[in-house]
């Protein structure tokens, strides 16, 4: 489930895949890359912008771009994991803007847009839609360690169970021997 928008933010009108959260499985000191596909179901060309919570560990390529009506674009999100990073607080914000400026600003906007998408995203620019997707960071090294620990615990439990069974068997044997001794007397 995406993170709810802030008050007054417009609903996201594009489609993204994954749709609810971005799961990144990582190993320490290795780069992990996941794709994010943005699809434009609208009749207009749009400009998108993808932002992250920490530029030290995440890279978004390309962070800005145009998507024509009915087309898709794939953005690569990479994670360079580092020790001590918080694996639960990160998210990605995706903004979109229709690239159909008002008639009185059309020539200026078209010239700027031809240069690059960045020119459309000024500090005062209000997006046409926003979505925030939670980043779920899964440490494969920790998962491996946990599985190995669980495996060891199971082995230990099995040994303990076998010891208990042997004790029970010995008790039964002693009990039977006592009963036989009583019968012989």
Interval 84-122: pLDDT, tens: 888 889 999 999 999 865 566 656 665 665 567 888 888
Give 167 or 184, the one with higher predicted confidence: 167
Question: What pLDDT, on a 0 to 100 scale, did the predictor assign at position 144?
Answer: 55
Burial annotation 1-24 (CB, 10 A radius, 16+ → b, else e) = ebeeeeeebeebebebeeeeebeb
Give 165 or 57, the one with higher predicted confidence: 57
Q: How many CA atoms does the CB half-sphere of 105 hold within 13 Å?
A: 8
Interval 142-155: pLDDT, tens: 655 566 666 777 77
Low-confidence winner among 11-25, 70-84, 156-170 (lowest mean pLDDT): 156-170
Domains of the chain are 15-139 (2.60.40.10)
């Amino acid at each position: 489930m995406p993170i709810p928008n802030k008050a007054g933010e417009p609903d996201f009108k594009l489609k993204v895949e994954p749709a609810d959260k971005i799961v990144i499985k990582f190993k320490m000191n290795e780069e992990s890359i996941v794709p994010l596909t943005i699809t434009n179901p609208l009749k207009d060309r749009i400009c998108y912008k993808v932002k992250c919570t920490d530029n030290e560990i995440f890279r978004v390529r390309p962070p800005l771009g145009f998507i024509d009506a009915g087309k898709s674009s794939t953005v690569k999100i990479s994670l360079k994991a580092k020790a001590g990073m918080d694996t639960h607080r990160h998210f990605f914000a995706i903004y979109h803007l229709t690239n159909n400026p008002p008639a009185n600003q059309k020539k200026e906007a078209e010239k700027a847009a031809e240069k690059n998408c960045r020119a459309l995203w000024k500090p005062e620019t209000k997006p046409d839609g926003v979505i925030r997707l939670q980043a779920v960071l899964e440490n494969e090294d920790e998962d491996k360690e946990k599985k190995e620990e669980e495996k060891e615990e199971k082995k230990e439990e099995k040994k303990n169970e076998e010891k208990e069974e042997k004790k029970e068997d010995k008790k039964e044997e002693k009990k039977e021997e006592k009963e036989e001794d009583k019968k012989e007397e």
